[in-house]
């Protein structure tokens, strides 16, 4: 098996020689001619049943070749049999919850996780009863109707780590879904640790340039079929232009993640020494749950960090207003560095008690390090901190 750096460049391009192309082609067709009705009907039946492909794509909501190529690439990177791409990360999660709902109405969830994911689960909009538990309590909270165990590691926004192997063992026969957006396949492969599903907001590191919204679920072929069925019925297929941009970003994935990770580590250390900062949350610094997993479960601490300011909300607001190089915006995983306020933005949908219980304080800021020169990033961030300190 080639190294991940090599796979990132070549995966999903296996048919390029036959096609006579060097860059991923974009198929924008909405419909496909059906000259033979019997063959067309057979293709339709196969795609509606959730098969990965058929002789005729029939209709773009059922299948698109450009999307299929990037799905194949990401399956190789995650070490899964299949990958199913959606129009956003939330569309991917919603489809997964719909797919497992037939197995029971109960889901165990470990907090913290992305605010909108938490909201979807807690609100009951997905038609499931979400029970929020500590990872250590999973085994004792499994019910006959438990359809899924959901975790995010590293967690958004506190960077807490969850032991995937331990969760899989505690879940027993219940499938485990891991949101691995922060880690990417470069730093973590949950399938190899026993997880059933791996989710990515592909908008983030996988796309990597802030110009595509996408989500993927990597899993076995058996589990991919109902996801494709739901995707076809709900119209949640990733647009081929988005798939092209996503595929275009993969060759530099490892390089981007490794450079951004270096920057995050330097920034975390410097922030820890700054008098305006109360605590820095970054794997490997002893400030996140299960910190040791950064060196065992993962292949590095990642490119995200968070820090809590002594001045609370006022200081956080001032820093976001004062930065000039870092972009004050939600999202993460882009080539440029972003800074945002979880309590006021990404996790605003959670009630105050939940935010406090999961460490999302009024003074917490989250930074997604980009690939700029780290000294320039620090000059900008430290100047903003001095402004906040007054």
Active-site residues, by number, are 61, 114, 179, 204
Count, residues in the chain: 390
Q: In what order do the strands lie in the sheet with 277-281?
A: 277-281, 304-309, 364-368, 338-340, 327-328
Taking CA atoms, 301 is separated from 273, 285, 293, in Å, by 19, 9, 9
Helix (H) or strand (E) holding 321: helix 312-322
- Give the C-alpha separation, 306 to 378, whole Å: 14
Those residues with Cβ within 8 angstroms of residue 77's Cβ, 6 or more apart along the chain or in another chain: 4, 7, 8, 11, 185, 250, 253
Q: How many CB atoms lie within 10 A of CB 222?
A: 10
SS3 123: helix
Taking CA atoms, 23 is separated from 4, 12, 66, 118, 249, in Å, by 20, 11, 11, 38, 12
Q: How many CB atoms lie within 10 A of CB 279?
A: 17
Nearest to 106 by CA among 150, 132, 145: 145
Nearest to 74 by CA among 241, 202, 221: 202
SS3 45: helix
SS3 157: coil
Residue with tokens 């129009």: 87
Nearest to 340 by CA among 136, 125, 114, 142: 114
What is the signed CA dihedral for 343, 349, 351, 356, rounded to 10 degrees? -30
């Amino acid at each position: 098996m080639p190294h991940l750096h090599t796979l990132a460049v070549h995966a999903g391009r296996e048919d390029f020689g036959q096609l006579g192309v060097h860059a991923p082609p974009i198929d924008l067709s909405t419909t496909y001619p059906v000259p033979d009705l019997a063959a067309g009907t057979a293709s339709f039946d196969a795609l509606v049943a959730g098969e990965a492909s058929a002789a005729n794509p029939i209709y773009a909501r059922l299948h698109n070749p450009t999307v299929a190529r990037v799905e194949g690439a990401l399956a190789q990177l995650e070490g899964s049999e299949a990958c199913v791409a959606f129009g956003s990360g939330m569309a991917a999660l919603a489809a997964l919850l719909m797919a497992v709902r037939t197995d029971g109405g109960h889901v165990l969830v470990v907090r913290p996780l992305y605010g909108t994911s938490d909201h979807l689960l807690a609100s009951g909009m997905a038609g499931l009863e979400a029970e929020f538990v500590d990872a250590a309590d999973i085994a004792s909270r499994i019910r006959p109707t438990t359809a899924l165990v959901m975790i995010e590691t590293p967690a958004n926004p506190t960077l807490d780590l969850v032991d995937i192997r331990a969760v899989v063992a505690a879940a027993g026969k219940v499938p485990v879904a891991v949101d691995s957006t922060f880690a990417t396949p470069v730093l973590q492969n949950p399938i190899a640790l026993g997880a059933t599903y791996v989710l990515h907001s592909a908008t983030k590191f996988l796309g990597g340039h802030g110009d595509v919204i996408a989500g993927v679920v990597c899993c076995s072929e058996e589990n991919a079929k109902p996801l494709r069925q739901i995707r076809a019925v709900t119209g949640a297929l990733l647009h081929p232009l988005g798939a092209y941009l996503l595929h275009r970003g993969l060759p530099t994935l490892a390089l981007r993640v490794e450079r951004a990770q270096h920057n995050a580590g330097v920034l975390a250390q410097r922030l820890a020494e700054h008098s305006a900062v109360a605590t820095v949350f970054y794997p490997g610094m002893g400030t996140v749950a299960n910190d040791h997993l950064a060196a065992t479960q993962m292949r590095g601490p990642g490119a995200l960090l968070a820090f809590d300011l002594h001045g609370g909300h006022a200081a956080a607001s001032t820093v976001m207003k004062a930065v000039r190089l870092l972009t004050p915006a939600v999202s993460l995983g882009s080539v440029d560095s972003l800074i945002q306020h979880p309590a006021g933005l990404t996790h605003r949908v959670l009630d105050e008690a939940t935010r406090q219980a999961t460490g999302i304080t009024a003074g917490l800021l989250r930074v997604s390090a980009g690939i700029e020169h780290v000294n320039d990033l620090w000059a900008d961030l430290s100047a903003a901190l001095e402004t906040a300190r007054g």
